Amino acid sequence: MFRNWFLIGTLVLIFASLTSSPTRACESVDEYSLTGCVDLWSSAYIRLPSSTVTYFDAKTEKFFTANTDNVEFQRSELHMTLDQQPKAVSELLGFPVSWHLELRPWHDSTYDLPNNVGQGGPRHEFLADDLQTNLNGRMADDYDPLFREYYLDLRPRHFFIRLGRQIIAWGKSDGVYVLDILNNFNLVNPEIFDEQQVKIPVWAANINWQINSTYTLQGLFIPQYLPTYYAGVQIQHGYPIQGGYGDFTYNSTAYFNNILNGQFGFKIPSQTNLPSTRLNNWIYGARFSNGSAGDLHYTLNYLYTYTTTMIAYPGNTSTFVTATTAAWRPHRMQVAGGSFDYDWDTGNKWLDGTVFRAESAVNNGDVYYEGTVGNPVDVTHWQFMGGIDKTILGDELERPVFASFQYYQDWVVARNNRCACGPHSNEFQDLGFDGSNAGFRGVYKSVSTLYLEKTWLPGDFVGSSLAVVHDWQFDDWWVKPEVTYQFNDKTAVVLGFDIFAGSKSTPYGEFTNNSNVYFAIHRVLL
């Protein structure tokens, strides 16, 4: 019954958007060199399978089983941007100056729906305060903020300097992150592929020196550490309270939360220790790159940073076997690597237009949870990603297909400290770990991705894409087909599916019961 009403409501929203009066993409005030844009994004994810799920209640310290909710995610947000290049300031300083402000107020109406329809019952109690909106001054101010980006751009001769809260892209990959870890992620809904939607902006001084027409040296200074946010890791009053209530809480996150919340008959007090903003705690990065030297582009990268997530350490002993407290803190990490892309242009019609790209990095000081006990281990691991992009079937189709294939590997080459990790001490807990041996990964792990994209009909009003992710060790899958219809240059609607397959203890297979159909609408308002 509810699903029918939801579909009717979606159609009403689409019709209202289509009958809105036409507007320009952005409004400009030439007198002040000011430009403003407003877009509306709205999406809803409707669960396909019907099942039950078991949670651990942080208050009663008992497990309970409930029906899965029908609506996993139903979020609307406005994207509002303002850009200005103040002429008086630029003339005074003798070089161009501009500023950018981006606001994204959002609300997830899943938490307004009845129990078993949306995030009702205990899930609402534990999740809504953080994940219902970013207008309440809670966690969202850091991890999914109202004021998303705000920075000042300075362009002295041979320099580009960006100061403020921003997203900084490194690397050559899509959806696989080797070098591109300057901005961590908000994984409340990890199905969102748009990195600009889910990356957490950081405060940074981003300084680029144009050495000559070819080479650039970039320096980064980031004073505050913001870890990746996994739904479920929230520590309040000494205890993690969320458990596994979120639809997309990873098994490994829920496993830790349930134990700390009292699964074994007692709660384990937990404390967080974020790095301060003192200079010695800052994140520092440097990148050397060539910009226009022929068909080959490359970068050399170094980053002195922290683990992308907070690490759970035994608080008062050396092992979780005997620990009675837990301490959450990041670990210092060094990342050294590089990337390249090459656009093949030799006169061979079978190879021309093919782009080869790769990136690689050695991470020293990263931390994995090893063995059944799951004690944290300082490791050195090597990551590599290789990709091929090409437009294919150009002679056979009026509108050809864009194809992209990637292969990623992660290899633990050294453990930098000893660990009393219990059974399976040569394996590491992956995202699907829920206490069983099936959730372990080995020292070597590999993932491949495939992406296909094609437009249809005159004017390219219909777009289609297919994304496939496969983990070779766990043999699990994530398949994401999507169709977009562009009504005009202001309004587009999207229909897609997220299909998960695999074991209940694998990174993607753990979400088998979260397979869904999703709808989205994008409307340019100003």
- What dihedral angle (degrees, nearest 10) is formed by the CA atoms of 496, 498, 501, 503? -170
Q: Using one digit for the tens of pLDDT, what is the confidence trace for 289-299? A: 987 656 789 99
Closest CA to 146 of 199, 185, 200, 104: 104
Instruction: Say how far apart CA 493 and CA 487 lie, in whole Å.
Output: 8
How many Å is the Cα radius of gyration of the chain?
A: 24
Give the model's pLDDT for residue 11. 32
Amino acid of residue 181:
I
Q: Measure the N-to-C terminal CA separation of the chain; round to a whole number of Å.
A: 36
Instruction: Say how far apart CA 286 and CA 220 lie, in whole Å.
Output: 6
Which whole-number Å values give the CA distances from 29 to 24, 26, 79, 84, 302, in the listed order? Answer: 13, 10, 19, 9, 42
| pLDDT < 70: residue spans in the chain | 1-25, 292-294
- What dihedral angle (degrees, nearest 10) is formed by the CA atoms of 116, 122, 127, 128? 70
Give the model's pLDDT for residue 251. 93
Q: Using one digit for the tens of pLDDT, what is the confidence trace for 236-252? A: 777 888 888 888 999 99
Beta bridge partners of 366: 379
Which residues does 80 contact at the CB level (< 8 Å), separation at least 6? Answer: 36, 37, 38, 102, 103, 104, 105
Give the model's pLDDT for residue 268. 87
Dihedral pair phi/psi, residue 65, rounded to 5°: -115, 135
Q: Residue holding tokens 């899943």?
A: 110
Q: Using one digit for the tens of pLDDT, what is the confidence trace for 354-382? A: 999 999 999 999 999 999 888 999 999 99
Q: What is the mean pLDDT of the chain?
A: 89
pTM of the model: 0.90
For each of the domains in the chain, give its residue range(s) and CATH number, in order of start. Answer: 2-524 (2.40.160.10)
Instruction: Say how far apart CA 471 and CA 445 lie, in whole Å.
Output: 8
DSSP of 488-512: SSSEEEEEEEEEEES-TTSTTGGGG
Structure tokens at 92: 């005074």
Which residues does 378 contact at the CB level (< 8 Å), separation at least 6? Answer: 331, 365, 366, 367, 415, 416, 417
CA atoms within 13 A on the CB side of 160: 7
Give the model's pLDDT for residue 242. 83
For residue 357, count CB atoms less than 10 angstroms from its CB and return exposed for 0-12, middle for 13-18, buried for 19 or more.
buried
